[in-house]
Amino acid sequence: MFTGIIEEIGKVVHNHKGVLLIETGLGGLKPGDSIAIDGACLTATHVHKAGSRHSLEFELSLETISRTCLGYLKDGERVNLERPLTLNKLVGGHLITGHVDGAVLILKKTDLAGGHARARFELPKSLRPFVATKGSVSVDGVSLTVTKAGSFYFETVLIPYTMKNSTLGHKAQGDLVNLEVDLIARYLQTLSEAR
């Protein structure tokens, strides 16, 4: 489980044939540890230590490649990183599983006063029941509040902190991002359908 509060922006060193290598300053990691990369929960298969920086190696399954944007990452590209939630950690965002529901397009991004931005994201028909105004979503691993939900899109407002401390500040119209809908909404929908 994760919170959607990004700890660091890492850098893609290598992404080829299902092997992803990420450079990070996050310490204390070992093979077998989980980490969210742009919101997708992955298991580190190798940790290469070099001073204060580390390289984490991940093997991408076909399922991960088909549901996320991770297969498209290029060398040098930046990614959002978050270590998993621990029992003594404050939940500053919302509960995120790291199980991405799909890759969606940024339809529009507009700068607002005070360093804020409004972002409009594609909303596939299959995910519409799980996204509501004032509800929560995770976009590239960032916990966001939905400010408006339409029939084919949803919008959020990105605060200056999010713009600076995650990759969403550099994303633009036409970019693909990973979307995870709210866990509670998913379970409520499943319970409703079962009745």
Specify the pLDDT at position 185: 86
61-68: average pLDDT: 95
Long-range contacts of 126-135 (CB under 8 A, 24+ apart): 126/102, 127/101, 127/102, 127/179, 127/181, 129/185, 129/189, 130/101, 130/181, 130/182, 130/185, 130/186, 130/189, 131/181, 131/182, 131/185, 132/185, 135/182, 135/185
Q: Which fold has domain 102-194?
A: Elongation Factor Tu (Ef-tu); domain 3 (2.40.30)
pLDDT range class, residue 192, cuts 50, 70, 90:
confident
pLDDT range class, residue 189, cuts 50, 70, 90:
confident
pLDDT range class, residue 191, cuts 50, 70, 90:
confident
Structural class in CATH, domain 8-82:
mainly beta
124-138: average pLDDT: 95
Whole-model pTM: value is: 0.92
46-70: average pLDDT: 91
- The per-residue pLDDT for range 145-158, each reduced to its tens digit, is 999 999 999 999 99
pLDDT range class, residue 28, cuts 50, 70, 90:
confident
Q: Where are the domains of the chain?
A: 8-82, 102-194
With a pLDDT cut of 90, the percent of the chain lying above it is 82
Specify the pLDDT at position 87: 76
Report angle CA 7, 50, 163 to the nearest 5 degrees: 25
Specify the pLDDT at position 93: 81
- The per-residue pLDDT for range 107-127, each reduced to its tens digit, is 999 999 999 999 999 999 999
Q: Which of 78, 82, 81 is nearest to 12 (CA)?
A: 78
With a pLDDT cut of 70, the percent of the chain lying above it is 100
Name the average pLDDT for the chain. 93
> Do 102-194 and 8-82 have the same topology in CATH?
yes
State yes or no: pLDDT of 90 exceeds 90. no
